[in-house]
């Protein structure tokens, strides 16, 4: 497998890094010399050389420093140059430009991908030295008025450039070989140790190329993702697949290496996880006698037997899947252990406990028999895969490798949430927060790993960062609609409201508001949250105290909840109306459109409309928004004004008519805005016209 990876990478190199072609026409002599001095100084002053290609880059910088002396001498002589020297200098300018770009690529690109391409990059540097030698071949030194030192330096440089051999750092070749071995091990199929990686070796290789801190790993992932995106159009599926494998390796390595300081414990935990994730391991079904010393935590509370497939129910307790399924199917809706009523019957796999179970069984020679459902689904997956074409199989294989890495990472992190120290839990929650930030598949896999109950528990943590990471992880997970139901079913809403009310950090409070906004997209969730008056009070509190983004999150959550008519009065009772009017006048708040939209929505209930009518400043603000506001602000203002006029009758209409800006603004709106807003503007104009006619022609 290692050889195959090396061959594929080697075949892809020419596609991955095409030669840099920069053409440069003949410039005027003065401009050319000035440009040469400037670009030479830029290359010579490069600081913090990269770990990769260090020797080639250092040697190239020394050569360009020699050339810089030549350019300085030519500028000082200020004498006409022969045509052949102009051609040479133009070629040197092109070479130095490409040297600069190549060094930038080595510094700013992925270190791991650069290590894979070490021979190719070395060839690039060697080719540029040869081009430099070719340009110096036509430099007429005898015709140039140069100092003796400069002349000797250029001659020495020319001689050395002619004789220079290709320099490929043997240490980089060795590190590349080790990296390819790690990649091959990570990609092995149908192996008992599938997915096992020696993280001591990983850390050693990564450290040698400058990846030493968590930040280094995170930056490397971003660089690899950028490289994969760049190669997607030109490098082909194999190149992108190799880069994706590197991304998976770095992502998982970051989680394992930095979440636990003890290398041996890391390795042991990962071996446990690998055993639990190995779906190709054949298990004997022989009827060996089971040991009597089964730990209590490994026994199902129902059957008292060793659990084969531990799952978590809504109460947070763990049972064997078959036992609890029979319990629920027989008509029970309570937790057998606690007696608590189950608010849902979803069974979430407890991967953390399962990994420990598998390890204990291996240590004690106890066979575990996989249930028939798993075997059947595995057979179906195998059958369907055999029907795929070769190209599709490659694509599925690349995707599956990435998904397997996410599954292992999620399972490992959930295990740390379950049994880790406070520091470990904080870091695990942070890693899950990052993992859930992108990709619906990631969000689904994390929840399948059993993360939700543990994250909900951590919402009550006294550690500020742990709480912040937990609520943000739940926010990111809630973006996947199926997860919204599971988060609500886990009894999380009261804990989220607690964080919203009195979270340890402002970011935790604001992310709790954003989580409520996300959850309330589901209609049933609006109803459930609406039964908690504390949620509205806490959102109004954040609307008053939060940062600009926090105020926006709170306003958005209140708006979403108030789409359910039953919740509008709760928002009004919590004090939303006067605060929203106050925020309309606060330019720094930056939520004018959101505040007006929420006021227009709250005017749809009698309590909200009564409070809005008491304000004397709201109507002038709404009229100004008709003239100068955004499209959203204009539509919200016309909705509010129309509702006020319909309810308040002549008194409100007169106040509108007294304002000289109202009629022109409405006329402008009826011509320029959306169809819905135009209809409302026309309706309000007709209402005002009728009121005006009645005042001029009183009855009787």
pLDDT at 183: 79
Q: With beta carbons less than 8 A apart as the criterion, state whether 60 and 125 touch.
A: yes
CA–CA separation, 515 and 518 (whole Å):
5
Indicate the angle between helix axes 618-628 and 592-602, nearest 10 degrees.
Answer: 120
As a whole-number percent, the residues of the chain with pLDDT over 90 amount to: 21
CA–CA separation, 618 and 599 (whole Å):
10
CA–CA separation, 8 and 329 (whole Å):
52
Angle made by CA atoms 413, 312, 291, in degrees to the nearest 5: 90
pLDDT at 368: 62
Residue 279 has pLDDT above 60, yes or no: no
**Helix-strand-coil split of the chain, %, nearest 5:** 70, 0, 25
Least confident of 36-50, 239-253, 382-396: 382-396
686 half-sphere exposure, CB direction, 13 A CA radius: 8
Element (H, E) at 479: none
Element (H, E) at 54: helix 54-77
Residue 342 has pLDDT above 80, yes or no: no
pLDDT at 475: 94
Residue 247 has pLDDT above 80, yes or no: yes
Element (H, E) at 614: none
19 versus 652: the higher-pLDDT residue is 652
Average pLDDT of span 301-313? 84
Q: With beta carbons less than 8 A apart as the criterion, state whether 456 and 474 touch.
A: yes
pLDDT at 281: 37
Q: With beta carbons less than 8 A apart as the criterion, state whether 84 and 145 touch.
A: no
Least confident of 159-163, 180-184, 272-276: 272-276
Q: With beta carbons less than 8 A apart as the criterion, state whether 560 and 521 touch.
A: yes
- List the strands of the sheet with 310-312, edge to edge: 318-320, 310-312, 348-349
* Confidence label for 516 from pLDDT (cuts 50, 70 and 90): very high
Q: How far is CA 24 from CA 67, 133, 137, 138, 539, in A?
A: 18, 18, 19, 17, 62
Identify the CA nearest to 604 among candidates 637, 565, 635, 632: 565
CA–CA separation, 146 and 124 (whole Å):
31
Burial of 264 (0-12, 13-18, 19+ CB in 10 A): exposed
Round the average pLDDT of the chain to a whole number and report it: 78
Q: How far is CA 258 from CA 245, 250, 347, 458, 634, in A?
A: 20, 12, 31, 20, 52
Least confident of 10-19, 45-54, 138-147, 585-594: 10-19
Identify the CA nearest to 433 among candidates 404, 461, 466: 466
Element (H, E) at 421: none
pLDDT at 292: 57
Instruction: State how far Cα 208 lies from the chain centre.
Output: 27
| pLDDT tens figures, 200-229 | 888 888 888 888 888 888 888 888 888 887
Whole-prediction pTM: 0.56
Average pLDDT of span 525-540? 93
Q: How far is CA 71 from CA 41, 140, 254, 403, 501, in A?
A: 11, 14, 48, 55, 68
Q: How far is CA 498 from CA 346, 471, 473, 537, in A?
A: 25, 11, 16, 11
pLDDT at 694: 59
CA–CA separation, 639 and 576 (whole Å):
18
Residue 592 has pLDDT above 80, yes or no: yes
Residue 678 has pLDDT above 50, yes or no: yes
Identify the CA nearest to 20 among candidates 111, 146, 168, 127: 127
Highest mean pLDDT of the ranges 44-58, 425-439, 502-516:
502-516
* Confidence label for 691 from pLDDT (cuts 50, 70 and 90): low
DSSP notation for 66-127: HHHHHHHHHHHH-----HHHHHHHHHHHHHHHHHHHHHHHHHHS-HHHHHHTHHHHHHHHHH
Phi, psi for 234 (deg, rounded to 5) = -125, -30
| pLDDT tens figures, 542-563 | 999 989 889 999 999 999 999 9
CA–CA separation, 259 and 426 (whole Å):
9
Q: With beta carbons less than 8 A apart as the criterion, state whether 77 and 120 touch.
A: no
Least confident of 83-92, 130-139, 310-319: 310-319
Identify the CA nearest to 346 among candidates 241, 272, 426, 453: 453
| pLDDT tens figures, 153-177 | 888 988 998 898 999 889 888 888 8
Identify the CA nearest to 511 among candidates 539, 545, 560, 475: 475
pLDDT at 692: 64
pLDDT at 662: 65
CA–CA separation, 101 and 133 (whole Å):
19
pLDDT at 499: 95
């Amino acid at each position: 497998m290692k050889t195959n990876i090396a061959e594929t990478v080697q075949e892809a190199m020419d596609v991955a890094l095409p030669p840099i072609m920069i053409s440069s026409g003949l410039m005027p002599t003065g401009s050319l010399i000035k440009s040469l001095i400037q670009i030479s100084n830029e290359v010579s002053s490069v600081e913090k050389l990269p770990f990769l290609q260090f020797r080639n880059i250092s040697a190239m910088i020394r050569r360009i420093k020699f050339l810089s002396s030549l350019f300085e001498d030519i500028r000082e002589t200020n004498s006409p140059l022969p045509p052949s020297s102009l051609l040479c200098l133009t070629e040197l300018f092109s070479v130095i430009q490409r040297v600069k770009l190549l060094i930038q690529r080595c510094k700013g690109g992925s270190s791991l991908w650069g290590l894979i391409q070490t021979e190719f990059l070395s060839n690039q540097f060697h080719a540029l030295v040869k081009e430099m030698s070719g340009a110096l071949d036509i430099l007429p030194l005898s015709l140039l008025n140069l100092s003796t030192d400069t002349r000797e330096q250029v001659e020495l440089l020319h001689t050395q450039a002619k004789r220079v051999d290709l320099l490929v750092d043997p240490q980089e070749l060795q590190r590349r070989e080790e990296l390819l071995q790690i990649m091959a091990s990570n990609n092995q199929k149908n192996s008992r140790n599938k997915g096992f990686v020696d993280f001591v070796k990983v850390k050693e290789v990564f450290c040698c190329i400058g990846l030493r801190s968590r930040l280094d790993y995170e930056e490397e992932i971003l660089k690899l993702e950028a490289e994969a995106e760049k190669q997607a159009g030109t490098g082909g599926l194999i190149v992108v697949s190799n880069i994706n494998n590197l991304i998976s390796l770095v992502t998982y390595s970051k989680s394992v290496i930095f979440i636990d300081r003890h290398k041996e414990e890391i390795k042991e935990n990962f071996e446990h996880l690998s055993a639990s994730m190995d779906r190709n391991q054949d298990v004997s079904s022989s009827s060996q006698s089971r040991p009597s010393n089964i730990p209590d935590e490994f026994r199902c509370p129902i059957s008292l037997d060793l659990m084969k497939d531990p799952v978590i129910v809504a109460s947070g307790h763990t049972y064997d899947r078959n036992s609890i399924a029979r319990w629920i199917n027989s008509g029970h809706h309570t937790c057998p252990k606690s007696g608590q009523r189950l608010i849902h019957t979803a069974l979430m796999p407890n991967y953390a406990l399962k990994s420990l179970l598998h390890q204990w069984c291996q240590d004690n020679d106890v066979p575990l028999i996989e249930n028939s459902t798993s075997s059947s689904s595995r057979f179906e997956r195998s059958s369907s895969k055999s029907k795929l074409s070769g190209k599709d199989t490659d694509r599925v294989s690349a995707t599956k490798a990435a998904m397997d890495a996410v599954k292992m990472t999620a399972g490992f992190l959930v295990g740390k949430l379950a049994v880790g120290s406070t520091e470990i839990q904080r870091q695990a929650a942070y890693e899950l927060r990052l993992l859930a930030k992108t990709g619906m598949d990631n969000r689904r896999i994390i929840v399948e790993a059993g993360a939700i109950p543990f994250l909900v528990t951590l919402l009550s943590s006294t550690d500020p960062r742990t709480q912040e990471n937990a609520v943000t992880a739940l926010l990111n997970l809630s973006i996947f609609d199926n997860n919204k139901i599971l988060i609500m079913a886990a009894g999380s809403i009261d804990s989220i409201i607690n964080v919203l009310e009195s979270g340890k950090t402002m970011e935790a409070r604001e992310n709790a508001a954003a989580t409520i906004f996300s959850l309330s997209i589901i209609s049933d969730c609006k109803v459930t949250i609406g039964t908690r008056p504390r949620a509205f009070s806490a959102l109004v509190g954040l609307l008053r105290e939060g940062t600009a983004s926090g105020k926006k999150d709170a306003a958005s959550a209140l708006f979403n909840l108030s789409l359910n008519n039953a919740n509008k009065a709760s928002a009004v009772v919590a004090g939303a109306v006067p605060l929203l009017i106050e925020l309309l006048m606060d330019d720094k708040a930056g939520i004018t459109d959101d505040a007006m939209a929420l006021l227009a929505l709250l005017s749809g209930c009698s309590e909200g409309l009564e409070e809005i009518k008491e304000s004397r400043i709201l109507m002038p603000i709404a009229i100004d928004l008709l003239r100068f506001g955004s499209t959203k602000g204009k539509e919200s203002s016309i909705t509010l004004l129309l509702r006020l006029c319909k309810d308040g009758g002549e008194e409100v209409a007169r106040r509108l008519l007294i304002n000289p800006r109202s009629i022109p603004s409405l006329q402008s709106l009826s011509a320029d805005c959306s169809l819905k807003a135009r209809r409302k503007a026309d309706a309000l104009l007709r209402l005002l016209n009728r009121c005006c006619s009645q005042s001029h022609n009183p009855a009787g």
